Structure 1
Amino acid sequence: MGTKKYPPELRERAVRLYRESDPNPVLRRLAEQLNLHPAALRNWIRQAEADHGEREDRPTTAMLEESWRLAKENAELRRVNEVLRAASAYFAS
């Protein structure tokens, strides 16, 4: 995962505040109160909903992390494969 503009604690607190409020606060107002960009808060809330099985239109955090792990592993295997291919070509000549 890339660099994060906001600390994880702020993300967790903001999502918890939104989810535990009844009725849910207006996103833009809550974002202003917490000094967040509204789009960031909206994305965090949507991700939390996916993680809690409340929406099907986006992958869960666990699924994303597994995908990133597999992509990293795949890149490493490709690199190793290139080294082995080069070594094989060298020793074959």
Structure 2
Amino acid sequence: MSKSANFPKEVRERAVRLVLEQQDSHASQWSAIGSVAAKIGCTHETLRRWVRQAERDEGKRAGPTTSEQERIKALERENRELRQANEILRKASAYFAQAELDRRPK
């Protein structure tokens, strides 16, 4: 479980919105992140990652969006399961082939 899951989605969205709204009144986005992070009780780095992901989701920054990341995880999981199934079938096939060779002819 990721640490960001400790905060409800509404809190994360509100924190990101506050950073984006307040970054003009601060010297940099990092200082705005620091200010908001202290108020909601998360680390600067956690809030920075939330902001970067929100920027990717809005198309303001290059990289995979949240939905694309979820799709990639699902495909990787499916790929892993299929590899395991293929390995089981390969071993079963080898076992039955060996059993067929070991049978005594009548």
Give the TM-score band, short-chain normalised: 0.7 to 0.9
Matched, 1:28 2:34: yes
Structure number with higher helix proportion: 2
Q: What percent identity do the matched residue pairs reach?
A: 45
Provide the alpha-carbon RMSD of the alignment: 1.8
Matched, 1:61 2:62: no
> What residue in structure 1 maps to residue 49 of structure 2?
43
Query: Which string of whole-angstrom CA distances, capped at 9 and with x for unpartnered residues, describes residues 17-40 of structure 1?
Result: 223447365110111011110101
Q: Helix, strand or coil: the match of 2:10? A: helix
Q: Unpaired runs of 5+ in structure 2?
A: 27-31, 99-106
Matched, 1:88 2:86: no
Provide the TM-score with structure 2 as the length reference.
Answer: 0.75
Once residues 82 and 50 of structure 2 are traced to their aligned partners in structure 1, the CA distance between those partners, rounded to angstroms, is: 33
Larger RCO, structure (CA 8 Å, separation 6 or more):
1
Query: Which string of whole-angstrom CA distances, capped at 9 and with x for unpartnered residues, describes residues 6-54 of structure 1?
Result: 3323212211222344736511011101111010101100100000000
Q: How many residues align?
A: 91
Once residues 22 and 12 of structure 1 are traced to their aligned partners in structure 2, the CA distance between those partners, rounded to angstroms, is: 15
Q: Helix, strand or coil: the match of 2:41? A: coil
Provide the TM-score with structure 1 as the length reference.
Answer: 0.85
> What residue in structure 2 maps to residue 15 of structure 1?
16
Q: Helix, strand or coil: the match of 2:53? A: helix
Q: Helix, strand or coil: the match of 1:23? A: helix
Once residues 16 and 84 of structure 2 are traced to their aligned partners in structure 1, the CA distance between those partners, rounded to angstroms, is: 39
Q: Unpaired runs of 5+ in structure 1?
A: none
Misfit runs of 4+, over 4 Å:
none
